[in-house]
Amino acid sequence: MPSSAAPLPIRRIALTTGGGDAPGLNAVICAVTRAAQRRGWTCVGIRDGYDGLLRPERYRPGDGCIELTSERVEGIAALGGTLLGSTNKGDPFAYPTAQADGSAALLDRSQDLLDALAREGIDALVAVGGDGSLAIAHRLAQRGLRVVGVPKTIDNDLDGTVMTFGFDTAVGFASECIDRLHTTAASHHRVIAVEVMGRYAGWIALHAGLAGGAHAILLPELPFDLGAVAELIARREAQGLAYSIVVVAEGAYPRDGSRLLCGPAEAGHAERLGGMGEQVAQALARLTGKDARCVVLGHLLRGGSPTAFDRVAALRFGAAAVRALEAGQSDVMVALDGNDVHPVPLAEVAGRMKAVPLDGGTLATARDLGVCLGVSAATAA
C-alpha cells in the first residue's frame, strides 16, 4: 500500500529509465533533476535500467551511475531517447546471467540492487517505465525502497493513467506516414497495409488510423475477418476509389488464427510481435486481386523529438514524482487523471494492461466514420 506516514528526509535520489524508449524520457530526467535540486537534493541517473548498478564492470569507472545536475540536463527535454539508456532485458528479480555451459539462468538480483543503492547513499528512486518497469518498481517498494513510478510507453497500454508520455509523438509520426501513403496508394490503385507497434493493445493503430484517415483499422482487441476488409475494398472500388489504407496493429490477429511473432520470448526478454502487416497485405491481394504492399513503421515510432504535448506531460510527471516523494509517498505512480497529475498506488497499475475499450468513444467514432474494423456487419457491435 502507498504510505504517507513519517517521511524521512531525502538528500539523494536515483532515477532509472526502463523498457522500450519513448519520446519524453529526457524531459522526465530534466524535470526530476531540476525539481530535486530546488529542494537541495542530489540526483543520480542509473545507466540502462539497473545495469549501471548490477553490472558496473560494463561501464567506465564510476559511469554506471551518473550525477545529474541542472547543467547536465540543460536543453535535453526536446531530445528523443534517454540520456541514461534503457533496457527491456534484465528484470533484477529475474536477471539473465550467463552460465558456464553457455545457457542463461534467471537469478534474483534484487538484493544486489538494494545493496548498491544503499552504497550510493540513495534515499529514494524514481522509476520511469511501462507495465514491466513499474511491476519491478512495485516489487522494489515492497522490499522497503521508497519508489515513485512515472508512466512511460508509446503503446499507451498502462492502466491507471489517462495517457502515458510517448504515445502522442508515436501517433503523430504514424499519422504523418499514413498521410504520405494515401498519395502513393491512390496513384498506383493499391492496398497498403501499415503495421504499427503497440504490443497487445491497439491504441497507436486506432488513433493513428483515425488521424490518418485509414479505411480499415485492425486491432488486437477485435480479432479480424479479412472478408470484411475485402468487402470494404470492393465497395470503395465500386465508388471509383481504387485504393485503400489498412492500419494493422502488430498484435492484431485473425478470428481463426493467432498473433505473429518475429522473435520468441527469451530469458529476461518478452516475445517480439511482428509480421501481421505483410500477412494482411498478401491475403488482401489474394482476396481482392489488387496489388498490395506492406509498410512496417516499427521503431521509427519510438524515435525523434517529443511533441509539445509529450514534453509537457513528461515534465509534469517528473516534477509530480519529486513532489510525491517530498510528501512522503512511496509505492505510487504519478498518473494523468483528467487535467491533473495524481499519485495512484503502484499495486493498482503494475503489470496491468489497458486495452482499447470496445464500448469506448474513440472506437464508436471509427464506426460512425465508416472505418472498417475487420468485423462483418453481422458481428459488429
Ligand X SMILES: Nc1ncnc2c1ncn2[C@@H]1O[C@H](COP(=O)(O)OP(=O)(O)OP(=O)(O)O)[C@@H](O)[C@H]1O
Ligand Y SMILES: O=P(O)(O)OC[C@H]1O[C@](O)(CO)[C@@H](O)[C@@H]1O
Binding site, annotated residues for ATP? 20, 89-90, 130-133
Binding track, positions 109-148, relative to ligand X; x by CB under 6 A:
--------------------xxxxx--x------------
- Which residue from 270, 283, 287, 312 is in contact with ligand X, where contact means CB under 6 A? 270
> In Å, how far are 71, 93, 226, 310 from 84, measured between CA atoms?
15, 21, 43, 18
Set 21, 91, 155, 157: catalytic member: 155
Helix H segments across 289-379?
308-326, 361-368
155 assigned to active site: yes
Q: Is there binding between residue 274 and Mg ion (CB under 5 A)?
A: no
Is there a contact between 219 and 249 (Cβ–Cβ < 8 Å)? yes
Q: Which is nearer to ligand Y, 235 or 259 (CB)?
A: 259
Q: Is there binding between residue 152 and ligand Y (CB under 6 A)?
A: no
Q: Is there binding between residue 81 and Mg ion (CB under 5 A)?
A: no
> Which cell goes with 340?
491533473
Binding residues for Mg(2+): 131
- Which residue from 23, 49, 52, 251 is in contact with ligand X, where contact means CB under 6 A? 49
Q: Is there binding between residue 159 and Mg ion (CB under 5 A)?
A: no
- Which residue from 272, 323, 342, 352 is in contact with ligand Y, where contact means CB under 6 A? 272
Q: Which is nearer to ligand Y, 130 or 343 (CB)?
A: 130
Is there a contact between 112 and 74 (Cβ–Cβ < 8 Å)? no
Q: Least Å distance between CB 34 and ligand Y? A: 27
Is there a contact between 240 and 271 (Cβ–Cβ < 8 Å)? no
CA 219 to CA 209: how far, in whole Å?
11
CA 186 to CA 178: how far, in whole Å?
12
Q: Is there binding between residue 219 and ligand Y (CB under 6 A)?
A: no
Q: How many helices (H) and strands (E) does the chain have?
A: 10, 15
Closest by CA to 76, choosing from 62, 64, 61, 66, is 66
Name the segment binding ligand Y (CB under 6 A); options: 28-36, 193-201, 235-243, 346-354: 193-201
Binding track, positions 125-154, relative to Mg ion; x by CB under 5 A:
-----xxx----------------------
Q: Which is nearer to ligand X, 248 or 333 (CB)?
A: 333
**For the residues of 125-186, what is the DSSP string, one character each?**
EEEEESHHHHHHHHHHHHTT--EEEEEB-TT--BTTSS--BTHHHHHHHHHHHHHHHHHHHH
- 190 DSSP 8-state letter: -
- Which residue from 123, 155, 159, 221 is in contact with ligand Y, where contact means CB under 6 A? 155
Return residues touching ligand X (CB under 6 A): 16, 18-20, 49-50, 87-91, 129-133, 136, 152-153, 155, 199, 270
